[in-house]
């Protein structure tokens, strides 16, 4: 029996290592997004600063370990056997859920995950006890309802506070410094930096020192009784140091603030969130030690009152956990996916919006536009002019967007300062707020105050924010539900269930890793394409390559779609539609990026931009034609409507072959700039249109003779019409590409 529980403790610690890896991948967004978004330093430098902060902050986590042991449930009501099953269910759930969120690049809360996993597993075991033990009065004996509700309420309240505080601080800061802040930073930057770093020092050192495992009693007493002295000394030291660095070495003060803030936020993250990863395994180890102290017999009889005692966490455990977190931070590619989501939603300039538009987001935007008009109508003219001047990002926005910077250093500094202060304050009060919620909502509040959510992007950004928040609520629900289910499976299935669940978790992690690898490879190709220099020649090269590759895919999709219709094969029709939708999505992203490309071109490239826009537009029109064929065809097959007769098949087979020849010639002309063949292509198109015309007349005759049904006729006539549109757009595509090449008079190809 003892060896079984030793194995469980080992499994808990192995899961803790995995949890540290996936947890850091998710929570890296908390302290990396500001520095990376503003590009204040090379990526390697930012990572080193964050890694040191994580390692140092890990030793401040001692005071937070109470949550995993007794913050959610009453350990005295559970036996050792039950508590070990509870902890195992929690760790399995945590690893699976966090890995799924990381794979899809969605920032979620490790704190909410662990809280609701503990709650779900505890409720599951409580129900089993209530059902099997008539002496148990109810679930309330097992759950610390008031503590759990307090934690949950604090987490939700932190969302509102973080957003509001971030927006207010950023608005005041921007109102004073403006977007063209360089001159004022030279005058007042050292004072601003002194205040910022002093605030961070106060909340991390003075308020957070009580949780540090290495802090001696004398040092803690000195800090506790000399608040004012430490604050004044810190402000004077940092202000003078920053002023000297700026005056003599031309050091960018905002860069210093951001790097210090990154260190501080990484430290705050580690001190607050480390409990989410190792708190449960350490509680499991403490439970096992309590079990051994009782004699090591009767695992179902030994109750866990010992977990109610104050926690004393070994500094060695914290340091080892910090090292694992640092390694994971450096090696995890999923961390960058999660960071990108937060950066994209907060970037100052427009670009490809990841999220769509919803009725809810549109109504919010309309409401705020109405409110803004009402306020604008009564505000003094001079005040409006001053605010408009301070919040005018035109020149800075253009410079940042072309340099790949998502937002400026001033906003990045505010993001870090506000988030670090809020998180450190909560840590000092041993409140397990969500660092993800706080940092994300601070970033969203500052982006709103900075007017990054303009009318061109507001609906998409709001949809994105609420999608992430909805994911947070889904985290809570899924964490509770999955932990509840897993603890019941383990309770009834025993060791066989444990082995099966561990295998399932391993399988899911491997699968999501492969999925993320494919997604990362696709994103990397897009980044490489965007990183290429933008000039007339590169635009021509990109346009030519993109066009003839797309024509190949169009040709294949059309043929596959016709074959699916012939065979009435639902699977083939679905595969064809999926390929068409992917092509349409890729072209839409390329079309959305046209603004960025045009901005990068010089003024003399205006005509080049015009032709490039035309080419992409014609490609999208061609793909739309395919979509309008594929969707009705799939519906027709799925509804088991009457298929094509022999005459229709023969006509469509001929059409398919002729279109294949036309698209091949289109590809050849584009690939080799063989515009001398354009007349031949036009003649082929005219012959093809005549074939389509004859087929249309034949179908009308079949309808009059009642040979084909209504559904069949509608499908066939639609197919002919969209094929005609596809052919016409293909020739227009060639003409636009010809004008593009002739205008540039290039011998590149």
Encode pLDDT of 196-208 as tens digits: 888 877 766 655 5
- Is the confidence at residue 232, as pLDDT, over 80? yes
**Mean local confidence (pLDDT), 271-284:** 76
Q: Are residues 469 and 591 in the same domain?
A: no
Per-residue pLDDT, 430: 64
Q: How many beta carbons lie within 10 A of that of residue 514, not counting itself?
A: 11
Q: Is residue 700 part of a domain?
A: yes
Q: What percent of the chain has pLDDT over 90?
A: 19
Residue 525 lies in a domain: no
The C-alpha angle 332, 407, 397, rounded to 5 degrees, equals 140
pLDDT classification of 400: cutoffs 50, 70, 90: low
Residues 587 and 489 in one domain: no
How many other C-beta atoms are found inside a 10 Å radius of the C-beta of residue 87? 28
The residue among 230 and 626 whose pLDDT is bigger is 626
Q: What is the mean pLDDT of residues 269-287?
A: 77
Min mean pLDDT across 226-235, 352-361, 371-380, 662-671 is at 352-361
pLDDT at 180: 86
The residue range of the domain holding 615 is 532-744
Q: What is the pLDDT of residue 715?
A: 92
Closest CA to 322 of 95, 98, 56: 56
Question: Last residue of some domain: 437, 463, 493?
Answer: 493
- pTM for this entry: 0.71
| Structure confidence by residue, pLDDT tens digits, 133-156 | 777 667 777 777 776 677 777 777
Q: Per-residue confidence at 557, pLDDT binned at 50, 70, 90?
A: very high
Write down the pLDDT at residue 438.
85
Q: Where is average pLDDT lowest: 100-104, 144-148, 293-297, 604-608?
A: 604-608
636 pLDDT higher than 50? yes
Averaged over 552-567, what is the pLDDT? 91
Residue 558, classed as helix, strand or coil, is helix
173 and 68 both lie in a single domain: yes
DSSP letters spanning 173-219: HHHHH-SS-HHHHHHHHHHHHHHHHHHHHIIIIITTGGG-TT--HHH
Instruction: State how many domains the chain has.
Output: 2
Residue 600 pLDDT more than 50?
A: yes
Predicted local confidence at residue 216, as pLDDT: 66
Residue 559 and residue 631 share a domain: yes
Do 254 and 188 contact (CB within 8 A), yes or no? no
Question: Which comes out higher in pLDDT, residue 4 or 608?
Answer: 4
Do residues 513 and 152 touch, judged by C-beta distance below 8 A? Answer: no
Q: Give the model's confidence band at 379: pLDDT under 50 very low, under 70 low, under 90 confident, else very high.
A: confident
Q: What is the pLDDT of residue 535?
A: 59
Q: Establish if 507 belongs to a structural domain.
A: no
Contact 268, 435 (CB under 8 A): yes
Asked if residue 509 belongs to a domain, the reply is no
**CATH assignment of the domain containing 721:** 1.20.58.220
Q: Residues 210, 278: one domain?
A: yes
Is the per-residue pLDDT at 558 higher than 90?
yes
Structure tokens at 639: 């509804």
User: Which pLDDT score, from 0 to 100, does residue 683 have?
Assistant: 92
Query: What is the pLDDT confidence band of residue 748, given thresholds at 50, 70 and 90?
Result: very low
Residues 25, 143, single domain; the answer is yes
* % pLDDT > 70, the chain: 81
Tell me if residue 73 falls in helix, strand or coil.
strand
Whether residue 498 lies inside any domain: the answer is: no
- The angle, 0 to 180 degrees and rounded to 10, between the axes of the packed helices 536-567 and 646-672 is 170
Look-up of token digits 């499976």: 489
As a whole number of angstroms, the distance between CA 428 and CA 209 comes to: 8
The pLDDT, as a whole number, for residue 538 is 66
More confident call, 29 vs 451: 451
Q: What is the pLDDT of residue 431?
A: 66
First to last CA, the chain: 75
Q: Within a 10 A sphere around the Cβ of 644, how many other Cβ atoms?
A: 20
Report the alpha-carbon distance of residue 539 to residue 709 in Å, rounded.
Answer: 49
Same domain, 482 and 630: no
Give the pLDDT of residue 629.
93
Q: Is residue 503 situated within a structural domain?
A: no
DSSP letter (8 states) at residue 68: I
Give pLDDT tens digits for 33-48.
788 888 888 888 888 8
Q: Which of 437, 471, 493 is the last residue of a domain?
A: 493
Q: Are residues 308 and 358 in the same domain?
A: yes
Is residue 508 in a domain? Answer: no
Q: How many Cβ atoms from other residues are within 10 Å of residue 639's Cβ? A: 8
Could you tell me if 448 and 586 lie in one domain?
Answer: no
Least confident of 54-68, 241-255, 733-747: 54-68
User: 611 with 739: CB under 8 angstroms?
Assistant: yes
Looking at per-residue pLDDT, the higher value among 302 and 609 belongs to 302
Per-residue pLDDT tens for 700-718? 999 988 888 889 999 999 9
pLDDT of residue 747: 43
| Residue 213: band (very low, low, confident or very high) from pLDDT cuts 50, 70, 90 | low
Classify 298 in phi/psi space as left (phi over 0), alpha (psi -120 to 50) or beta.
Answer: left
- In this predicted structure, the answer to whether residue 376 has a pLDDT above a threshold of 80 is yes
Query: Directed axis angle between helix 29-38 and helix 334-346, to 10°?
Result: 60
Confidence of residue 74 (pLDDT cuts 50, 70, 90): confident
**Non-local CB neighbours of 713 within 8 Å, separated by 6+ positions:** 699, 702, 703
Coil, helix or strand at residue 408: coil
Residue 665 located in a structural domain: yes
User: What are 589's strand-pairing partners?
Assistant: none
Confidence of residue 235 (pLDDT cuts 50, 70, 90): very high
3-class SS at 660? helix
Residue 517: name the closest of 328, 326, 332 by CA.
332
What is the torsional sign of CA 226, 229, 233, 235?
positive
34 with 443: CB under 8 angstroms?
Answer: yes
For residue 519, pLDDT beyond 70:
no
466, 493, 520 — which closes off a domain? 493
Q: Which of 699, 596, 598 is nearest to 650 (CA)?
A: 699
Pair 602, 539: CB distance under 8 Å: no
Question: What confidence tier does 630 reach under pLDDT thresholds 50, 70, 90?
Answer: very high
Say yes or no: 458 and 336 in one domain: yes
- CA dihedral of 498, 504, 506, 511, whole degrees rounded to 10: -170
Q: Are residues 657 and 541 in the same domain?
A: yes
The per-residue pLDDT for 604 is 47
- Alpha carbon 652 to chain centroid distance? 45
Provide the mean pLDDT of the chain. Answer: 80
Average pLDDT on 409-438 reads 78
Q: Are residues 99 and 11 in the same domain?
A: yes
């Amino acid at each position: 029996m003892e060896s079984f529980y030793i194995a469980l403790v080992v499994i808990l610690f192995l899961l803790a290592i995995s949890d540290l890896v996936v947890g850091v991948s998710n929570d890296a967004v908390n302290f990396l997004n500001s520095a990376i978004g503003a590009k204040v330093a090379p990526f390697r430098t930012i990572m080193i600063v964050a890694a040191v902060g994580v390692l140092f902050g890990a030793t401040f986590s001692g005071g937070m370990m109470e949550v995993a042991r007794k913050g959610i449930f009453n350990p005295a009501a559970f036996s050792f056997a039950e508590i070990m099953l509870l902890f195992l269910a929690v760790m399995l759930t945590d690893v699976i859920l966090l890995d799924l969120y990381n794979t899809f690049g969605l920032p979620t809360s490790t704190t909410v995950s662990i809280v609701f996993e503990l709650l779900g597993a505890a409720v599951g075991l409580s129900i089993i006890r209530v059902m099997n033990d008539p002496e148990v009065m109810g679930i309330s004996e097992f759950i610390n309802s008031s503590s759990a509700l307090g934690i949950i309420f604090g987490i939700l309240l932190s969302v509102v506070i973080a957003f509001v505080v971030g927006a207010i601080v950023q608005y005041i800061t921007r109102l004073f410094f403006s977007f063209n802040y360089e001159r004022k930073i030279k005058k007042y930057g050292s004072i601003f930096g002194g205040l910022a770093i002093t605030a961070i020092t106060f909340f991390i050192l003075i308020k957070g020192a009580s949780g540090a495992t290495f802090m001696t009693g004398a040092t803690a007493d000195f800090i506790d009784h000399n608040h004012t002295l430490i604050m004044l000394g810190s402000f004077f030291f940092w202000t003078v140091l920053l002023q000297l660095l700026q005056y003599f070495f031309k050091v960018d003060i905002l860069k210093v603030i951001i790097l210090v803030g990154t260190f501080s936020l990484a430290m705050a993250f580690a001190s607050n969130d480390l409990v989410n990863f190792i708190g449960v395994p350490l509680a499991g180890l403490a439970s096992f030690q309590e079990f051994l102290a009782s004699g090591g017999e009767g695992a179902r009889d030994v109750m866990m009152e010992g977990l109610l005692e104050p926690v004393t966490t070994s500094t060695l455990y914290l340091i080892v956990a910090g090292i694992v977190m640092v390694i994971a931070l450096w090696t995890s590619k999923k961390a960058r996916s999660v960071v990108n989501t937060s950066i994209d939603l907060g970037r100052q300039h427009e670009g490809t919006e990841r999220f769509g538009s919803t009725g809810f987001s549109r109504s919010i935007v309309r409401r705020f536009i109405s409110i803004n008009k009402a306020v604008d109508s009564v505000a003094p003219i001079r005040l409006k002019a001053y605010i408009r001047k301070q919040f005018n990002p035109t020149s800075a926005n253009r410079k940042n967007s072309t340099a790949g910077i998502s937002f400026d250093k001033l906003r990045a500094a505010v993001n870090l300062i506000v988030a670090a202060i809020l998180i450190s304050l909560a840590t000092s009060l041993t409140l397990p707020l969500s660092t993800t919620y706080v940092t994300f909502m601070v970033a969203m509040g500052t982006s709103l105050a900075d007017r990054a959510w303009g009318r061109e992007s507001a609906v998409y950004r709001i949809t994105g924010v609420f999608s992430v928040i909805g994911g947070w609520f889904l985290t809570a629900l899924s964490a509770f539900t999955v932990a509840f289910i897993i603890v019941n499976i383990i309770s009834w299935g025993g060791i066989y269930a444990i082995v099966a669940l561990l295998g399932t978790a391993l399988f899911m992690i491997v699968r999501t890793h492969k999925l993320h690898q494919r997604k990362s490879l696709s994103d990397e190709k897009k980044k490489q394409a965007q990183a290429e220099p933008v000039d007339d020649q590169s635009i021509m090269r990109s346009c030519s390559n993109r066009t003839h590759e797309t024509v190949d895919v169009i040709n294949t999709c059309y043929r596959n779609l016709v074959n699916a219709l012939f065979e009435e094969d639902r699977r083939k029709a679905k595969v064809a539609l999926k390929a068409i939708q992917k092509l349409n999505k890729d072209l839409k992203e390329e079309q959305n990026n046209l603004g960025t490309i045009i901005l990068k071109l010089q003024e003399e490239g205006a005509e080049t931009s015009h032709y490039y826009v035309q080419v992409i537009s014609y490609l999208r029109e061609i793909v739309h034609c395919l979509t309008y064929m594929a969707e009705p065809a799939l519906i027709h097959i799925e509804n088991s409507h009457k298929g094509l007769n022999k005459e229709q098949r023969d006509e469509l087979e001929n059409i398919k072959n002729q279109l294949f020849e036309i698209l091949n010639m289109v590809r050849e002309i584009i690939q080799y700039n063989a515009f001398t063949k354009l007349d031949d292509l036009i003649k082929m198109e005219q012959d093809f249109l005549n074939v389509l015309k004859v087929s249309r007349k034949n179908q009308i005759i079949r309808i009059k003779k009642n040979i084909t049904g209504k559904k069949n006729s509608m499908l066939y006539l639609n197919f002919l019409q969209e094929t005609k549109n596809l052919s016409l757009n293909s020739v227009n595509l060639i003409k636009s590409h010809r004008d593009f090449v002739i205008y540039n008079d290039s011998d590149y190809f």
